[in-house]
Structure 1
Amino acid sequence: MEGMKLRVSPPEFRGRLHDPRTATLIGRWLGLAMLVCFGTGLVSHVMQHPPGWLANSLPSRPSWGYRFSQGLHVASGIAAIPLLLAKLWAVYPRLFVWPPLRSVRHGLERLSVAVLVAGAVFELATGLLNIVQWYPWPFSFVPVHFAVAWLVVGALVLHLAVKAPEIRAHWSRRSPGTLALPVEDGPDRRSLLAGVAAAVGAVTLTTIGQSVTPLKGLILFAPRDPDHGPQGLPVNRTAAAAGVGRVVDEAYRLVVAGPRPYALTLDELRALPQHEVELPIACVEGWSKSARWTGVRVRDLLERVGAPPDARVRVVSLQLRGGYRVSEMGHQHARDPLTLLALRLNGAELDPDHGYPARLIAPNRPGVLQTKWVGRLEVLS
């Protein structure tokens, strides 16, 4: 045997794994990613569009809550993309079986698969395009994305119900149903699952740095660098895009409407007690970054106007174009000592793209509701 070398070859994936065991294993990961994405998306929707009975009760703490949930929402959605592709590869031969309907149960299975596949592809594709702020469709993204998410979850529940016996048979290595599968497929299956896991890890690590800033050095594919933008903070809508030119200091007035209405010039706002807080801007597209904000506490402005302790507040921007010109805050956000009408960012006067002369910054609040170029506060009964 002298001179002979022992050669150990890695397992070769030969493409035979279109079987229930492989589909079930990948489906477990995909189902978890989809449920996390749905749950965090539900949190985001409620924070942006709370139902009337909840509008005045949204919590302002933890201050990083929305940053965490929305970052997890985008990360789980991106991770679901390679999982969905792998799942479709594992089951695609069964999508074209003939006859298409063999029984009522088979019909329900095919219906659940059709809605689940179409809905999941739609959600992931539109969500990915939303991250880069490209909207090549005629409908409003938020309500349609939200509605289709419920269809996907409903289809997933139906699919799990009709496929429960098969899923149970192939859930674990010790399941009786796995005995019928070819033993020689084991190495190939492990290679496939390792490849899928590597793909999920790769897309996660190269994008999550836009919200988990310690990992920002790994960003390759995320559309936002958390350090890129005026004053070291990204912006989604510039002053020019919002139709706000450079505000003339002498002409600016902050109007506070309530039981004892008043107006303040910019110099009067600057003369009020100033407070500094560290809070993140957490955008619905998934990027976020903490910054130091200095300004007047909103609760001080509300006390001066005579607002009731449980009053909601409407915040009106000077912007002329674009959505979210007006936002509302429940009393927990309005009265939180971290909620400011900010005049400075990281020690410097606000850049126009960050809302000069004054913008809202509040804890645990979506970035689209951190209204910039604030011109009016209204106390709502």
Structure 2
Amino acid sequence: MTSPPPEPPAVPGPPATPGPPATVRARGRLALPPVRPPSFSGRLHDARTATSIGRWLGVAFLVCFVTGLISHYLQHPPGWAADLLPSRPVWGYRLSQGLHIASGLAAIVLLLVKLWTVYPRLFAWPPVRGVLHALERLSVAVLVASAVLEVFTGLLNIAEWYPWPFGFIQTHFALAWVVTGSLLLHIAVKAPEIKAHWSRRSPGTLELPAQDGPDRRSLMLGVGAAVGAVTLTTVGQAFTPLGSLDLLAPRHPDHGPQGLPVNRTAAAAGVTDRAVRDWRLEVRGPTPYSLTLDQLRALPRAQSRLPIACVEGWSVEAAWSGVRISDLLALAGARPGAGLRVTSLERSGSYRVMEMGRDYAEDPLTLLALELNGQVLTVDHGYPARIIAPNRPGVLQTKWVTLLEVL
């Protein structure tokens, strides 16, 4: 038998174009690689760390919520409570609003760290394991969304920037209740896990090895340092002894005409030179009357040293001089216990008309102020006359007063 002839040698040709992987092309169709949930191997994304951060965050939210309620109801008291709001202590609103802003800024730092510790659970697979688990996930989504929106709208309010179509005050107040309710529900659901990881000496509860303890302590020290830095560089706008460290707050308590900041100028309020030039004070009551500025200055004068505290968090104490509101009401024939409605020269605004209850109206420290720190008021501080009262939000210390009405 003869052997088959040898095959001709292969002639090298152009390199072949590599085809798609088998996982990408199958039977002429494109096929995506299988989808797998992400896996996280980072350290400190454990329940012990989340519980430790959660303790601090819970305290910050609690202080922020309580002081926020005080601020809201001092600014917008229900009709039945108007005569129940106290005018003392004179520094009460300054303290509560300063705590509100400080705890809100601290909560931003703590919330971001809390979300970092738990974000791997957002990608847990399968995402829903039953009806109860779905409800729990939904409650967490509501809590996270409302908390993030609450703290960041509050931050923008401090800077007086409102890039949204809704009213800040009503939305911020409603969200506070949503956050608080969602947080209480979350604590109730997670109570067993929180209890297990609350103490440093809970044996057998660490999800990570014991050697991660130093890293956890370092994280907590870092978070504490960040909260401390944010607080020290902003709280000076309310706590004036730390005013020299007030680097990040949008207001400095000593910067502004006559040594006080101004949130709204006369130009922004639409108060014209002509309106100021033709100014008269009208007082309506059983015995109505009106006064020119010279006649008002001729009345018995009184002095008050009171803080003015703004909802954005800044506050500063100053010396005020003017005529007691109680004296002006008495001249109008007001009975004891009467309240007061105040109207400003400004053309528009939520606080153009303001009311105060009897405790404020009768307090000897409540003035129709004509001077600030020994000088005649500048027009941006309310010239010719403005209200100054103890324990009162700055938005209710009405400037450019033109009308007083006995209630």
Range class of TM-score, shorter chain: over 0.9
Partner Cα distance (2:275, 2:171) in 1: 40
Deviation for aligned residue 1:104: 4.0
Partner Cα distance (2:207, 2:119) in 1: 21
Deviation for aligned residue 1:177: 5.0
Deviation for aligned residue 1:52: 1.4
1:203 matches 2:230: yes
Q: 1:302 aligns with which of 329, 332, 351?
A: 329
Identify the range of structure 1 (288-297 vs 181-190) with the bigger mean alpha-carbon deviation.
181-190
1:260 matches 2:274: no
Alignment of 1:90-105 (within 5 A): 90-105=117-132
SS at match of 1:184: helix
Tell me the alpha carbon deviations over residues 314-339 of structure 1, each in whole angstroms, 9 at most, x when there is no partner. 00001113331011000000000000
State the aligned residue count.
367
Please tell me whether the aligned partners of residues 168 and 175 of structure 1 are also in contact (alpha carbons under 8 angstroms).
Answer: no
**TM-score scaled by length of structure 2:** 0.88
Partner Cα distance (2:301, 2:265) in 1: 26
Q: Which residue of 2 aligns with 1:377?
A: 404
Deviation for aligned residue 1:100: 1.9
Please tell me whether the aligned partners of residues 170 and 177 of structure 1 are also in contact (alpha carbons under 8 angstroms).
Answer: no
Partner Cα distance (1:188, 1:15) in 2: 12
1:364 matches 2:368: no
Q: Which residue of 2 aligns with 1:26?
A: 53
Partner Cα distance (1:177, 1:68) in 2: 43
Tell me the alpha carbon deviations over residues 197-255 of structure 1, each in whole angstroms, 9 at most, x when there is no partner. 00000000001100001101011110001111110100100011111123577632111
What's the % identity of the aligned pairs?
72
Please tell me whether the aligned partners of residues 44 and 208 of structure 2 are also in contact (alpha carbons under 8 angstroms).
Answer: no
Please tell me whether the aligned partners of residues 250 and 265 of structure 1 are also in contact (alpha carbons under 8 angstroms).
Answer: no
SS at match of 2:269: coil
Identify the range of structure 1 (246-255 vs 166-175) with the bigger mean alpha-carbon deviation.
246-255
Alignment of 1:117-156 (within 5 A): 117-156=144-183
Partner Cα distance (1:236, 1:180) in 2: 50
Partner Cα distance (1:152, 1:308) in 2: 44
SS at match of 1:319: coil
Q: Which residue of 1 aligns with 2:186?
A: 159
Partner Cα distance (1:225, 1:204) in 2: 14
2:221 alignment partner AA: A
Deviation for aligned residue 1:280: 0.9
Identify the range of structure 1 (300-309 vs 224-233) with the bigger mean alpha-carbon deviation.
300-309
Tell me the alpha carbon deviations over residues 100-129 of structure 1, each in whole angstroms, 9 at most, x when there is no partner. 222344233212211111011101111000
Runs of 4+ aligned structure 1 residues displaced above 6 Å come to none
1:244 matches 2:271: yes
**TM-score scaled by length of structure 1:** 0.94
Deviation for aligned residue 1:91: 0.2
Please tell me whether the aligned partners of residues 47 and 207 of structure 2 are also in contact (alpha carbons under 8 angstroms).
Answer: no
Q: Which residue of 2 aligns with 1:336?
A: 363
SS at match of 1:178: coil
Please tell me whether the aligned partners of residues 37 and 76 of structure 1 are also in contact (alpha carbons under 8 angstroms).
Answer: yes
User: CA 1:166–1:335 in 2, change beyond 3 Å: closer, same or farther?
Assistant: same
Tell me the alpha carbon deviations over residues 66-86 of structure 1, each in whole angstroms, 9 at most, x when there is no partner. 000000000000011110111
1:63 matches 2:90: yes
Partner Cα distance (2:354, 2:282) in 1: 15
1:254 alignment partner AA: L
Identify the range of structure 1 (57-66 vs 239-248) with the bigger mean alpha-carbon deviation.
239-248
1:64 alignment partner AA: W
Please tell me whether the aligned partners of residues 247 and 356 of structure 1 are also in contact (alpha carbons under 8 angstroms).
Answer: no
Partner Cα distance (1:334, 1:103) in 2: 60
Q: Which residue of 2 aligns with 1:16?
A: 43
Partner Cα distance (1:122, 1:47) in 2: 23
Please tell me whether the aligned partners of residues 285 and 406 of structure 2 are also in contact (alpha carbons under 8 angstroms).
Answer: yes
1:320 matches 2:347: yes
1:45 matches 2:72: yes
Deviation for aligned residue 1:307: 1.2
Please tell me whether the aligned partners of residues 283 and 366 of structure 1 are also in contact (alpha carbons under 8 angstroms).
Answer: yes
Please tell me whether the aligned partners of residues 275 and 345 of structure 2 are also in contact (alpha carbons under 8 angstroms).
Answer: no
1:178 alignment partner AA: T
1:35 matches 2:62: yes
Partner Cα distance (2:300, 2:276) in 1: 19
1:369 alignment partner AA: L
SS at match of 1:294: strand
- Greater radius of gyration (CA): 2
Cα RMSD (Å) of the superposition? Answer: 1.4
Q: 1:226 aligns with which of 208, 230, 253?
A: 253
Tell me the alpha carbon deviations over residues 346-365 of structure 1, each in whole angstroms, 9 at most, x when there is no partner. 00000000000000000000
Partner Cα distance (1:273, 1:250) in 2: 23
Tell me the alpha carbon deviations over residues 250-272 of structure 1, each in whole angstroms, 9 at most, x when there is no partner. 63211111111111111111001
Partner Cα distance (1:374, 1:201) in 2: 41
Please tell me whether the aligned partners of residues 350 and 358 of structure 1 are also in contact (alpha carbons under 8 angstroms).
Answer: yes
Q: Which residue of 1 aligns with 2:302?
A: 275
Partner Cα distance (1:135, 1:83) in 2: 24
